[in-house]
A and B are shown apart, each in its own frame.
Chain A
Amino acid sequence: MATSATAVLLPLDSGRACSVGLHAFVEYVTDAVRFLDVPHAPAHANRLYMWGEHMAPVVDLGILLGLREHSPVPSTLMLVRYVDLKRCTRTYGALQIVGEPQRVEVGDDMMCALPEEFFWPHIAPSCFKHQNDIVPILDLSQVFSDALSQAQFNAFAESDLATFAA
């Protein structure tokens, strides 16, 4: 018997999207103004959003997807709650999105393979098809860990090795 769950669809840009479980949703922010740029940070995550007393790291998956080179100061953010596995704490993060999040019901029969970009397996354990779009389901503990930086480093190292071998 197929089961279903509620997810929140997050538009990234150029028709791409990802999703998180409804339980992670905290707030859809349309007037984000307080940011702190962090030096020596990866391009896809180089600022913190000041949300009350909390500092939420902002991740822009559009950079990793090659949709843009530099991340503009975001105006719309999806604030989420996740578990920091390294420190065993529940904390907040923000995902840069380009439109309103959308609530969707996801069933087992919608499951499909992850998109081909190298980083998805590191941050998305599964994926579903929604109106012909492939939508990865994010593991937020991984998104806000150093998994993406590690994946990028490994991808570059592999590419360098391949060039060297050739």
Chain B
Amino acid sequence: MSGAAQPQSESRGYAQLNFHGVSVLVPRECIARIEAIADLDLNERFGMHLMLGKQTFRSPAVTLSKDLVPAEDTPADHRFVAFLVLDGKTLGVTAESIRLLPTQRVTAEVVPDCVRLPHSPVIGLNRREGEFAFICDSAALIRACVSESTAHGN
């Protein structure tokens, strides 16, 4: 019994969303589409209506803070939106840049239990080229966004 908790690795394609100096990895199959901000209607872009399933909005979008909770404003350098899909509904997450990584062996280091709340979307850490990316469960990320926005009455 020695050494730190063993990282787990699997072959998978991820999309890397970069914003506020944070990198988030979500499985590529959880992304319905990627759009440039310019393609979005301005009301949708800045309205940030977060409730899923509202028919009046084709695809609500949200900007996340570095704490991965909905932020008030969308910075001007957020030029792209990745639409995550859950149960046939989509929620966009804005980002400064989005990289579609090819299917490759990705190592996920364990997030220690004490720094993880029960419903945290962060399921692992990926270390690459000296930088860290949070590997997220997209369903939990969407739920966190929706519950946070509901709690704030949006």
Contacts and interface: CB of A to CB of B under 8 A. Distances in A.
Interface in B31-75: 66-69
Interface of B: 1-6, 22, 66-69, 109-122, 125, 132, 134, 144
Given A89-B6, A90-B2, A148 B114 contact: yes
B114 A144 contact: yes
Contact of B113 (A37, A83, A90, A144): A144
Main DSSP-derived SS at the B contact region: loop
A89 B3 contact: yes
Contact of B115 (A48, A84, A88, A91): A48
Contacts of A86: 113
Closest 5 CB pairs of A and B: A40-B120, A39-B68, A57-B112, A146-B113, A41-B115
A93 interface: yes
A158 to B, nearest CB: 17
A42 B113 CA distance: 10
A47 B115 contact: yes
Nearest to B144: A40
A40 B114 contact: no
A47 B122 CA distance: 13
Nearest to A37: B66
